[in-house]
Structure 1
């Protein structure tokens, strides 16, 4: 039935034609709906399976090239011989891919994806060798098509299908294979050569850094030249341009970098004159690496940093048999200026001047007092110091000495300030006794001096 006769029939019978058209549209819609529903229900294979299928097809494509090459170039005219020999490269490629996958799984760790080893490198060697038959059989144009779709695509797809790609197995891991290491090294060297080693910089900052390095180089070359010499004017103009491009005038950080780099460049010759210790010098573990300082120098510095009364006590402990006048002269020789009263006070407070029984009693009282302070959780100095009659108070009688009290006043202020900063209130009598190593009566006098107006 032609189109004209069909059109005449439709015009002659409009209602039957409309019914048939509606039925056909319903059937087509139902078929399309069934196809869409079936397609949605189908579970697609994983990406590795699809890559394996593609790699297999590309390997067969390569086998066709090998079949023709074996007959035309290798002289394999016998059909049986060609069937056995032509696919040696394809089978070797598949075997190397499987062994590379096994090596990668065996060497994988939590932080590294493993290395395919020698089989992984052989995959690409075989792929490169199979490009030769492609160009031999089909020339440049056809050989390029055969090489890309055949061995090259087969090698890439086997690489992905066998899980040899590090970024697929562990995105955060790095490959330890030799090709990957060489590629990373070449990439880093190229970026360093191009001046892009420092990442996360804007294009403007990269330009400023490049011209800053250029300005440093030009300034270092211009420094030893005399004004008016050959090339001096040209270098000056180039330096001016480089400084302007570096924008050091409007960026303080860039100007600071320029000056630091230029300073290091101009004074690089001073490196040869540095007095550095020999790395072959044997030292005891933990010994200072610098030159050994004499003991008198160390003692001089340590005594100068001590409070006066502590310095007197330290020297009196070290020289218990030394008279007071000689002890004072020794302190003056070490830079500690003290009065005779301070020397007498320090000798009385030194450990060598205290009886052994009194020292044992003091230690017992301190131990008992420390346990009591930890138990109650309150300030130990105020717990006993505010009560003059509290047990454990020092019963030593202090001879009133106004000059000695005034000499001790700076140390008392230091103890009071430390106690005020730590506890928020002035130091009590016990805190003054323990901090200044004095008795209760003298602690009361020092507390009175501390509470007195400063202008009195």
Structure 2
């Protein structure tokens, strides 16, 4: 109080420094409040269910602390209030600390994505809970001790455990607890479902009944002798399995019954030993079979060249037939492409020597240039072409006197043999060079040489990732070099 009065008197005596100090303190408190509020707003808060479960666990821990306070005075001889206040809640504080440590361990993610285990803190939670039951019964007897034990340490431990598991499931819905109790519980549940015939999911109750009846029918049908009671059970099982109306059920019944009746034959089946070395694949014994195997494993073009090297004088059609007999189906055209035999010569036309003007049914027009348009062309008249048939129309352009730079031979038209069509002149035919294929890159040729000289087409296409045409050119380039 004296300090307050002295501060007030000093403020009255020094108004300006007091105002500056007051403004500074107020600004600092405002900044601190703003920073705390911003931190709380950005902080990820746990869900409401986790908060309520944690609050209930804390209340049960306080309920257990009351029992410890009384037990410390009556059984442990802590009559001094300061001593008892410092030591009575040691178990409760340890329970709270172990619960928080187990929560931190459980929030950690395992290597396979599962939730972490509570670890040693989780075990200590249950150990402390079991020890805290003793003061409850010592203070209140059987009835009151049970109430104190259940509401106090037991319920506190359960709520801490449930709050931690609920938080992990909310954060990672697909995470499964990998603790020892959780693993034992899952294994027991799966075994129980399997024992009850409910292990296979997505089945209706009717399908489960049919499967059980089918299993009973297989078991009874595999017996050698059946009494009247067994026969009636077998008939009821067959009817309940709907074998007569469901083809799938009938097929399953026959397969399972055959397997069960023939189970004794498993001892007589001869199987190769797992310790024997693997046998190599059978090799062809005859030259024809060996040639067939080698040719079928090669690229068709390589196979054609191999057969052509053995039969150089054979006709492409004969080579195609021979390859087909050995399992490589190719056409005559493919054989010609592979051995570069070219196309077969075309058969000569019977009227190749007849000029266009001499062919029957051919109309020849003489075209001439004029300085003006002819009057008949200006106003053309209708012409009736009924009864007339023309297979081709040819136009002949006379020489132009104004073109002095060209010779008479260059201006003379040439007719294509056998067609009657005017062909190109000598200057036109020799002016355009033949199109040459693109040159292959040097690095591509070197890579092709590294694969072999020459490498098979399949190898070139697979290793260099090129088409068949480029592979053929590479093969020819490596063969020539």
TM score, norm. by length of structure 2: 0.51
Partner Cα separation in structure 2 for residue 133 and residue 207 of structure 1: 54
2:16 aligned residue: none
Q: Which residue of structure 2 aligns with residue 208 of structure 1?
A: 210
**1:203 Cα deviation after fit:** 0.7
CA spacing shift, 1:95–1:232, aligned 2, 3 Å: same
Distance 1:205 1:305, change over 3 A: farther
- Partners of 1:62 and 1:90 within 8 A in 2: yes
Q: Shift of the alpha carbon at 1:195?
A: 0.9
Q: Residues 349 and 438 of structure 1 are in contact (CA less than 8 Å); yes or no, is this contact kept in structure 2?
A: no
Structure 1 stretch 174-183 or stretch 130-139: which is displaced more? 130-139
- 2:219 is aligned to 217
For the residues of structure 1 that align with 2:320 and 2:79, how far apart are their CA atoms? 121
2:178 aligned with 1:275: no
Structure 1 pair 71/248, CA: closer, same or farther in 2 (3 Å)? farther
Decide whether aligned partners of structure 1 residues 397 and 432 sit closer, same or farther in structure 2, where only a CA change above 3 A counts.
closer
Alignment of 1:24-173 (within 5 A): 46-47=47-48, 48-70=50-72, 74-76=75-77, 78-79=79-80, 82-108=84-110, 111-135=113-137, 137-138=139-140, 141-162=143-164, 165-173=167-175
Question: For residues 301 and 143 of structure 1, what CA distance do their matches in structure 2 show?
Answer: 94
Whether the 8 Å contact between 2:308 and 2:319 is mirrored in structure 1 is: no
Contact 1:70 1:82 in 2 (8 A): yes
How many residues matched? 297
Is 1:100–1:164's contact at 8 Å kept on the other side of the alignment? Answer: no
Equivalent residue number for residue 295 of structure 1: 283
Q: Match of 2:234? A: 239
Question: What aligned pairs does 1:402-441 form with structure 2 within 5 A after superposition?
Answer: 430-431=333-334, 433-434=336-337, 439=341
1:199 positional shift: 0.8
Task: Give the Cα–Cα distance (whole angstroms) in 2 for the partners of residues 161 and 434 of structure 1.
Answer: 80
Structure 1, residues 150-196: CA drift from partner, whole Å, max 9, x if none? 22331233234456753233111111111111111111111111111
Deviation at 1:117, TM superposition (A): 1.2
Name the counterpart of 1:256: 251
Measure, in 2, the Cα distance between the counterparts of 1:87 and 1:249. 74
Deviates more, 1:182-191 or 1:244-253: 244-253
Cα deviation for residue 211 of structure 1 reads 1.6
The answer as to 2:309 corresponding to 1:351 is: yes
User: How well do the aligned residues superpose, as a CA RMSD in angstroms?
Assistant: 4.4
- Alignment pair present for 1:184 and 2:186: yes
Provide TM-score, normalisation by structure 1. 0.53
Unaligned runs of 5+ in 2: 1-44, 348-481
Please tell me whether the aligned partners of residues 108 and 115 of structure 2 are also in contact (alpha carbons under 8 angstroms). no
Alpha-carbon deviation of 1:102?
Answer: 2.8
Question: 1:298–1:432: structure 2 CA closer, same or farther, 3 Å change rule?
Answer: closer
1:334-365 CA distance string (max 9 Å, x none):
xxxxxxxxxxxx999443455xxxxxxxxxxx
* 2:24 paired residue number: none
Contact residue 137 and residue 146 of structure 2 kept, 8 A: yes
Per the TM alignment, residue 93 of structure 1 is displaced from its structure 2 partner at its CA by 1.1
Using the alignment, how far apart are the partners of 1:149 and 1:444 within structure 2? 108
More helix by share: 1
